[in-house]
Structure 1
Amino acid sequence: MVTRLTKARPRGGRWLGVLAGLAILLIAIATLMMAGAGPAYRGELISLGEAFNLLRNGVYAAGGAVTVSIITLLWSMVARRSTPALVASLVIVAAAALLYVPWQHWQRAQQVPAIHDITTDTQNPPAFEALADAREAAPNAVDYPGDTTAQQQHAAYPYIKPLILAEAPQTVLAAAQAEAEEAGWRIARISDNHIEATATTRWFGFEDDVVIRLTDVENGVQVDMRSASRLGASDVGTNAARIAAFLTSLEARLK
């Protein structure tokens, strides 16, 4: 009599492996969509609306990956299968890391006003001259938006103020130029008391224009600055952060 030996089927069957594979596929798709949206728009392969749709669909795919992973993890615990459980756990961690940036961006958007033009001098903002034509061609205006924006700025960013430096104007100008160049800004014009440049965001390549104005005062030189986005109603705090970082670095450079 011949006894046939059969290999025991793992608890949970092959479906646990299928679910784990599906979770991996969904998180891979989500990563490609979310990571590729910015570069695709920056490379002019898709429109801004299409890029945002990619981001949105990437979030949905990441959410789907989490859902499938939770089911896989719970089923694996019941079936006592360690490999699918490990895969599901790793996918959940990857999804959390992937969703952190858009979640943080959304959180910041809820906390700041929907403005995109920030300046240290809301009464007499530094004017765009060399970049006026480029801004005319963009959706956002060349001129400063006015009192409503100023009031919102003062409430949200009270620390955005002029910088007074006890240095010679040419020394401050040279330091400001060096800071702008180190930041990777594209300089459009430099005069005796005025610098205009364009800063480009890393991911989507959005262009924000910057003006730095130097004014002689009794105690030295007053540095005023303006940073304004060409596109979008809200900059999500980007321009205020740029001004604060620049003036802090400029002051440190001249100490």
Structure 2
Amino acid sequence: MKALVSLVSLSAFLLVALPGPLYKYGVVDLGTAFTGFKFGVFAGIAALILLVLQILFKRKTVTLSSTIMALLLSTIAIAIPLSMLNKGKSVPPIHDISTDLVNPPEFVAIAPLRADAPNPVEYAGVEVATQQRAAYPELQTLHYPQSKSELVEATKQVIDHLDWQLVNIDANKGIVEATDTTAWFGFKDDVVVRITDNGSKRLVDIRSKSRVGGSDLGKNAERIHGFIEELDSILAK
């Protein structure tokens, strides 16, 4: 019984932990990866049930270390997918976020890199803008007194600090493009920053869009927030 509990709890953990790297390196497709999550939850629940049965009917085989390990692995296997599910329910099912919803910054150099991506490079339009406005009303065009060249250089520093891949800089047009690759699944999300003159101030807009997936689980909005915080920190020095 002890061996069975350990095996099932370990299997549950692996069904949740491995899909990310397996998808990242092209071993499985995204649908298969998420199916692993589902079976990981089922296996985690099964492991907890088996553990309870072991404690009730096979108490002599129970050890503190094996019990803690089974609880830990099973809890992780159940908690991670459920946490992602709850996150998905708390944010709109969109994957294209911009501080300018009327005239979002356009991808230029990144556009060819997204040629085979399931999510098209074009902005989805009014429906997405309406959902974003309701979920992230704080994301709006930024205003800075620094020159365009200073903001382009600061943006480049932000991209370096955040460990994104710099794709393109057009200092004259005030356009900077980059790609952020997520650690677990290796999802590639693209970012474009647009800096324009507006009298004595500069307007800065940021757009972040996922290449795959219907919902980004709030990741693109979080990425823009992180960019703004880092940019403000650099400019304050």
Give the TM interval when normalised to the shorter protein.
over 0.9
Provide the C-alpha distance between the structure 2 equivalents of 1:197 and 1:88, rounded to a whole number of angstroms: 46
Aligned to 1:197: 178
Q: Deviations over 1:107-156 (max 9, x none)?
A: 11011111110000000000011111222321111111011100100101
Structure 2, unaligned runs of 5 or more: none
Query: Which residue, 121, 141, 160 being the options, matches 2:139?
Result: 160
> How much does 1:89 deviate?
4.5
Aligned to 2:203: 222
SS of 1:145's partner is coil
Provide the C-alpha distance between the structure 1 equivalents of 2:142 and 2:152, rounded to a whole number of angstroms: 13
Aligned to 1:37: 19
Percent of aligned positions that are identical: 36
Q: Deviations over 1:160-192 (max 9, x none)?
A: 112212212211111111111222212211011
Structure 1, unaligned runs of 5 or more: 1-18
Runs of at least 4 residues off by over 6 Å: none
Aligned to 2:126: 147
Residue 245 (structure 1) aligned with residue 226 (structure 2): yes
Query: Which residue, 94, 104, 113 being the options, matches 2:83?
Result: 104
For residues 163-202 of structure 1, the aligned pairs below 5 Å read 163-192=142-171, 193-202=174-183
CA RMSD of aligned residues (A): 1.6
Conserved in 1, the CA contact under 8 Å of 2:10 and 2:70? no
Conserved in 2, the CA contact under 8 Å of 1:162 and 1:224? yes
SS of 1:202's partner is coil
When the two structures are superposed, what TM-score results if normalisation uses the length of structure 1?
A: 0.86
Provide the C-alpha distance between the structure 2 equivalents of 1:21 and 1:207, rounded to a whole number of angstroms: 40
Greater C-alpha radius of gyration? 1
Conserved in 2, the CA contact under 8 Å of 1:216 and 1:222? yes
Aligned to 2:94: 115
Aligned to 1:49: 31
Provide the C-alpha distance between the structure 2 equivalents of 1:67 and 1:125, rounded to a whole number of angstroms: 51
Conserved in 2, the CA contact under 8 Å of 1:73 and 1:85? no
Q: Deviations over 1:62-112 (max 9, x none)?
A: 121111112122335xx5x4x605333541233223332222111110111
Amino acid at match of 2:189: D
When the two structures are superposed, what TM-score results if normalisation uses the length of structure 2?
A: 0.92
What is the aligned residue count? 233
